[in-house]
Amino acid sequence: MTPAIFGLSGLTLSADERAFFRDADPAGYILFGRNVQDRAQVRALTDALRAIHGRERLYITIDQEGGRVARMKPPVWTAYPPGGAFDRLYDLAPASAIEAARDNAEALGHDLAEVGITADCHPPLDLRHPGAHDIVGDRAFGADPMQVAALGRAVLQGLARAGIVGCIKHIPGHGRAMADSHKELPTVEAGEEELERDIAPFRTLCDTPFGMTAHVRYTAWDAENPATLSPYVIREIIRGRIGFTGLLMTDDLDMQALSGSVPELAERAVAAGCDIALNCWAKMDDMIGIAERLPAMSAEAAAKLDRALASVAEAGATGTHAELLAKRDALLALAG
């Protein structure tokens, strides 16, 4: 198995993609807006991916947080609120905010499970920092580490009830960045004490099966490399100080925060300690290069992937989609 997650070019698999995916046997796939049209089409696409590999339990993920980060959109799918909606309610009624976030995530998870998606790149555990770049902004569940961890845990629980594996991001924290890592490399010059606060939600949820790195450089830890490419940050901070033991995936390697070819970056990220390289944009040359450069997925990483997918196998729904949304809306109404 190739330790990579690949994107797809369109609404159906091309012949070249089918042949390449069959040979490369990637760890999983990620869907974007270009891959989703309606329920029947997405279900046919995910079924086609399963047919290539002959395994029902396949890692197929998407970025579906709610708010401005949503690949599956109305009118076909429900619009979900951003993390900031639960932050506002938490100020008034923490227990209600936690329940609302859990119900919201379970309803969102039903949308994904219905079309054969098995995972979501959600929740972000980045703290909101006034004056920072808005790339996090209202996606954050708040500025307090305990609150962000509590709401993040509720999201993971809600997704799991729908049979969906969550992914905490962006480890060790993107909220302090003054730039958008999609466009340039952010450099965070905060000291150890400030960064301890940023990593606190990740430490609280360090037993989550799946996590995603941040394309952010932290000068207190590694003045040269962003976290994704830093052996020190991955070994000493993410695995050590935070204690994250799950499958560690890079953020998209085609983002402009990183310099170098995508296959080279994939090789560097895995060498630095990431378990899986994420490449979203379905450029065949890049995907072939990744498959050629990366070693086979380690037995340890493969076991982590199996555990992540199995972690939601016994999950049970607590309500219908409509019931969950009604409960959520009644709770969110408390905040006006």
Residues designated catalytic = 182, 251
H/E stretch holding 15? helix 15-24
Q: Name the token pair of 23.
A: 């040979």
Query: CA–CA separation, 49 vs 18, rounded Å?
Result: 8
Is residue 39 packed enough to be buried (19+ CB in 10 Å), middle (13-18) or exposed (0-12)?
middle
Q: Which amino acid is at 166?
A: G
Read out DSSP for 277-299?
Answer: EEE-S--HHHHHHHHHHSPPPPH
Report yes or no: 277 and 250 within 8 Å, Cβ to Cβ. yes
| Residues contacting 187, CB < 8 A, separation 6+ | 178, 179, 216, 217, 219
Query: What does DSSP say about strands 276-279 and 59-62: parallel, antiparallel, or unpaired?
Result: unpaired
Query: CA–CA separation, 226 vs 271, rounded Å?
Result: 14
Query: CA–CA separation, 249 vs 280, rounded Å?
Result: 12
Q: Which residue bears the tokens 């049970």? A: 316
